[in-house]
A and B are shown apart, each in its own frame.
Chain A
Amino acid sequence: MPRLQYLLPMAAFVPLIAGLAFSLGLDHRSLPSTLIDRPTPAFSLGALDGAREGLSSADLRGRVTLLNVFASWCAGCRAEHPVLMRLAAANELPIYGLNWKDRRTDGIRWLAANKSPYARVGLDESGRTGIDLGVTGVPETFVIDRSGRIRYRYPGPLTEEVWRELFEPLLKSLRGEP
């Protein structure tokens, strides 16, 4: 069957195109976090509002928690805000806020205008804590387990759908852990 060799380029071309078509559908913007399953980097941030306590990595221990990175200049944060408010109202789990690369007055004004879903907020004005967490933009949400290890990072605005499909199964399994 000498004619079979003419099919060889086609045989190579088809998987190539299939591979390219597949990778076209992948999300190249969200980078894998290097911190998955690693302890939350140590940080201690001052409170956004002088009256309340700030946020430190020690707060993220003992319970499964959500760490939400937000900023007043971030449109996506506004979009995901109702989801966070609903979670806070349902008392699903403690939600901590990291106000990233923001001015104190802007952060305070944003929370006052939109209501705060956060149990505590730390102000990361320099953005260094965000960098330690490998934050590439806002909003970004981390799931942290009881021992204070980062188990999941979701870059981009939360939606009810994302919550249902990605977070709920994860939280269920995390709560089942000793």
Chain B
Amino acid sequence: MRMHKGRLATLFGIAMGWLVVATVPCSAVLPDEMLQDAALEARARALSQELRCVVCQNQSIDDSNAPLARDLRVLLRERLSTGDSDRQAVDFIVARYGNFVLLRPPLQWNTLLLWIGPLLMLLIACLGFGRYVRASAARFAGAESSPQLSDKDLERVQAILEDGSSA
């Protein structure tokens, strides 16, 4: 059975459209959790996107549907409503669950390698590449001053070039 090109394209379009819709990251925040104050709610949203859900560890509490994530979202909003600064509200949760809940780990002694590791790798790679380039340049320069042909060899080369046949 033949399928219309147009219909196939439409189906493809629908499938792609659905794919896009299905993969758009959407938050798990329910309307009843939201704060009336839009500015406060915006702060809470921003903060909760930076906090890891301790149940499903690769999601933020903003993304996660886990009941504990919901509790933490509500708790965060409560703290902000009672006048906590962003820092205080986050610290309140960190005090209970540790630095692990911060999706962006703080820069401190035991996370130093995590932060500068990639730079360190790049540095090592650059140094290695530099060495390699210099070494091959030296080899090339060395080739220029390689032993000259002996007189006998030169004569043979000359002879080949002149009559096109090997001597």
A contact residues vs B (CB 8 Å cutoff): 28-29, 31-35, 101, 126-128, 131-134, 136-137
Is B96 in contact with A29, judged by CB distance below 8 angstroms?
Answer: no
How many B residues have CB within 8 A of the partner chain?
14
Label chain A's interface by main secondary structure.
loop
Q: How far is the CB of A143 from chain B (nearest CB, A)?
A: 18
Residues of B within 8 A of A32 (CB): 98, 100
Stretch at the interface among B4-12, B17-25, B68-76: B68-76
Residues of B within 8 A of A28 (CB): 57
Decide yes or no: A127 and B100 within 8 Å by CB, A29-B57, A34-B95, A136-B55 being known contacts: no
Residues of B within 8 A of A134 (CB): 96-98
Is B68 in contact with A127, judged by CB distance below 8 angstroms?
Answer: yes
Residues of A within 8 A of B29 (CB): none
The 5 closest A-B pairs by CB, nearest first: A136-B54, A34-B98, A134-B96, A127-B71, A31-B100
Residues of A within 8 A of B31 (CB): none
Is A31 in contact with B75, judged by CB distance below 8 angstroms?
Answer: no
Residues of A within 8 A of B98 (CB): 31-34, 134
Q: Give Cα distance in the complex from A127 to B67, angstroms.
A: 10
Decide yes or no: A101 and B72 within 8 Å by CB, A31-B54, A132-B96, A136-B55 being known contacts: no
Decide yes or no: A128 and B75 within 8 Å by CB, A29-B57, A136-B54, A137-B68 being known contacts: yes
Q: Give Cα distance in the complex from A126 to B97, angstroms.
A: 17
Q: How far is the CB of B91 from chain A (nearest CB, A)?
A: 11
Beyond known contacts A34-B94, A127-B68: 17 more, CB 8 A cutoff = A28-B57, A31-B97, A31-B98, A31-B100, A32-B98, A34-B95, A34-B97, A126-B71, A127-B67, A128-B75, A131-B68, A131-B71, A131-B96, A132-B96, A134-B96, A134-B98, A136-B55
Label chain B's interface by main secondary structure.
helix
CB-defined A-B contacts under 8 Å, sample of 19: A31-B54, A32-B100, A34-B95, A34-B96, A34-B98, A35-B96, A101-B67, A101-B68, A126-B71, A127-B67, A127-B68, A127-B71, A128-B71, A131-B96, A134-B96, A136-B54, A136-B55, A136-B97, A137-B68
Q: How far is the CB of B44 from chain A (nearest CB, A)?
A: 16
B44-92 with Cβ < 8 A to chain A:
54-55, 57, 67-68, 71-72, 75
Decide yes or no: A136 and B68 within 8 Å by CB, A31-B97, A31-B98, A32-B98 being known contacts: yes
Q: Give Cα distance in the complex from A44 to B144, angstroms.
A: 87
Q: Give Cα distance in the complex from A133 to B96, angstroms.
A: 7
Residues of A within 8 A of B55 (CB): 136-137
Q: Give Cα distance in the complex from A128 to B75, angstroms.
A: 9
Q: How far is the CB of A25 from chain B (nearest CB, A)?
A: 18
Across the two chains, which residue of chain B brings its CB closest to A8?
B128
Q: Give Cα distance in the complex from A79 to B57, angstroms.
A: 24
Q: Give Cα distance in the complex from A132 to B72, angstroms.
A: 11
